[in-house]
Amino acid sequence: MVLIFCTFLITFMMAVTFVPAEKAKAAAGSVVSQNGQLRVSGSNLVNQAGQTIQLKGMSSHGTQWFGQYVNYDSMKWLRDNWGMNVFRPAMFTQDGGYINDPSQKNKVKEAVQAAIDLGIYVIIDWHVLGEKDPNIYKEQAKGFFREMATLYKDYPNVIYEICNEPNGYATWNGHIKPYAEEVIPVIRSIAPNNIIIVGTGTWSQDVHDAADNPLSYSNIMYTTHFYAGTHGQLLRDRIDYARSKGVAVFITEWGTSDASGDGGPFLAESQQWMDYLTNRQLSWVNWSLCDKTEASAALAPGASPYGGWSDAQLTASGKFVRDRMKAGSTPPGDGIVSGKTYKLVNVGSGKALDVNAAGTADGSNVQIWDDNGTGAQQWVITDVGGGLYKVINTNSNKGLDVAGTVNGSNVQIWSYGGGLNQKWSIVSVGGGSYKLIAGHNGRALDVNAGGTANGTNVQIWDDNGTNAQKWNLYKLN
C-alpha cells in the first residue's frame, strides 16, 4: 500500500507541476497575447502576424539604488495608466550591481514575473557601463544569461539585452562583436527565438559600425541610446544609415535631459526625437523610473514606489514621457467587454475623451483633455445589439451623442434615449486602436483638425483613417 500510495503521489506531483503549455500562456487579452513572439524582419520589429510593432516603456534606474520602484504594482500602473507595453529592469554589473551582489538578479526575476503576469514585454538588461568593455565580465554574463534563458525559454515576453553601453576603448569590431558571438549562442541554445539586443560603441551611439559588420544570427537588434539635450540629427542619421543596411534598431534607453542625466529637461528636442521614432515605428524605453533629484527622473522625490502617481508626483520629464507613451500605445485591455468602464485616449494627441468642466447637463460639450482619472473621462460601453454600443459617461450617466448628421456636427452628452445618434460601432483599426462610427450616418468620432491642445473639440467627420479618429480603449474595471 505504501509503495502504491508513493507511486501515486509522485505521479500526481509531476502532473500538477509540469505544465509547460500553461506556463507559456500569455495573460488573456494582453499586448503579449495579441502580438505573441516578436521577431526581426529586415529593419523592423514585427509581431507574430508579421506586422510592425512599436514598443514603448520605462527603464528602472539601477536596481541596487532604486529597486523599490521595480514591482508588480508600479508596472501595472504604468501599463494601465501610461500605456506601457515593455519594461526594462536595469541590472548594473559594477557599482554595487551583479558582480558584487549577485542577489540583484532577484529584482530582475521579480520584474520578469510581473511582466508575465501583466502580459507585457520585458528586457533583461546586463547593464555594462563602468567597465567599458563587456568582455571584462563575459563569463559572468554567460552564466547569468544561461540561467535567465533556462527560466524563461517558454515565454514570448522576454527580450535579452546583453551589453547596455560599451564605451571608451571598446569598439564594435575589436570588442563588442566578439563578445556577442560568445554570449548569443548561450542564449540561442536554450531560447532559440527570443529577441536579443546588442549594445554598440561610445555608449551605444555607434550603431553605424554594427551595421557595417553585423552579426549573423537571426532576431538580433542593435542598441542606440540618446539624451535629447546632447544628441540630435547626427545620431538620427546614423540610425537611418543602419536601417538602410538592413539592421533593426531598438532605443533601449533615452532621456529628456542631456547625457549627464541631469541637465534640462529638453522637451522640444525630445519631441523631435518622438516624432522621428514614431514615423519609423522604432521601439523605445525611457530612462528612468526613479525619484532621484535629476532631470531625467520620471518621479518627484518621495513618490510612492507602487504607482498611483498624481501629476504633482511626476517631474516635467515624467509627464512628458507619460503623454507620449499614451499616444498610439497598444492598449493592454481585453477588447470590448460589454458593461465595463473605459477611458478613451486619442492616438493623435494622447489626450482623453472628456466632458467639458465635468458637466452633467444635456448638451455639455465633449472635448479632449489630459488624462486626469475623473468621471468626466470614464465611459461605460454596453452592447445594444446589431453591432452597436451605447457609451455612457459615468459622471453624468448621459450618453455620447451627436447633435447633427453633417461633417463637423458636434459631439456632446445627452440623456440616453436609444436613438442611432447615440449608438456607435466600435471597429478595430489594428495596433490595438479603434474607431467609433456613429450609428445614424457612418461618420467617425473625430478630434477637430487633428488638434492636440486641451479643450480641442470633438465632432464627427468622414472616416479618413487619421490618428484624429483613432482611439485606444483602456478598461478600468
- Indicate the number of domains in the chain: 2
**Residue 458 lies inside a defined structural domain of this protein:** yes
User: Could you confirm whether 294 is annotated as catalytic?
Assistant: no
CATH number of the domain that residue 271 is part of = 3.20.20.80
Domain boundary among 300, 326, 352: 326
Same domain, 243 and 366: no
Same domain assignment for residues 299 and 344: no
Q: Are residues 91 and 182 in the same domain?
A: yes
Q: Which residue range forms the structural domain that includes residue 200?
A: 24-326
Query: Does residue 310 share a domain with residue 240?
Result: yes
73 inside domain: yes
Would 395 be classed as within a structural domain?
yes
Residues 344 and 317 in one domain: no
- Same structural domain, 319 and 378: no
Q: Are residues 320 and 352 in the same domain?
A: no
Residues 344 and 439 in one domain: yes
Instruction: Note the pLDDT of residue 2.
Output: 32
pLDDT of residue 432: 65
Q: Which of 271, 303, 326 is the last residue of a domain?
A: 326
- Do the domain assignments include residue 393? yes
Which residues, 6+ apart, have CB-to-CB distance to 258 below 8 Å? 227, 228, 229, 230, 264, 266, 295
Q: Examine the fold and report which residue of 282, 299, 326 is the final residue of a domain before the chain moves on.
A: 326
CATH number at residue 450: 2.80.10.50
Structural domain contains residue 12: no
Residues 30 and 139 in one domain: yes
Which candidate in 131, 161, 165, 294 is catalytic? 165
Are 106 and 191 part of one and the same domain? Answer: yes
Q: Is residue 4 part of a domain?
A: no
Query: What is the reported pLDDT for 335?
Result: 59
Looking at the fold, whether 318 and 344 belong to one and the same domain comes out as no
The neighbouring-strand residues paired with 354 are 367
Catalytic residue, candidates 131, 139, 161, 253: 253
Could you report the per-residue pLDDT of 354-398, keeping only the tens digit for each? Answer: 999 999 999 999 999 988 889 999 999 999 887 889 999 999 999
For the chain, give the longest Cα–Cα distance: 82
149 shares its domain with 251: yes
- Does residue 121 belong to any structural domain of this protein? yes
- Tens digits of residue pLDDT in 16-46: 333 333 345 677 678 999 899 999 999 999 9
Residues of the chain with pLDDT under 50: 1-23, 329-334
Does residue 125 lie in a domain region?
A: yes
Question: What is the predicted pLDDT for the residue at 158?
Answer: 99
pTM: 0.68
Assess whether 182 carries a catalytic annotation: no
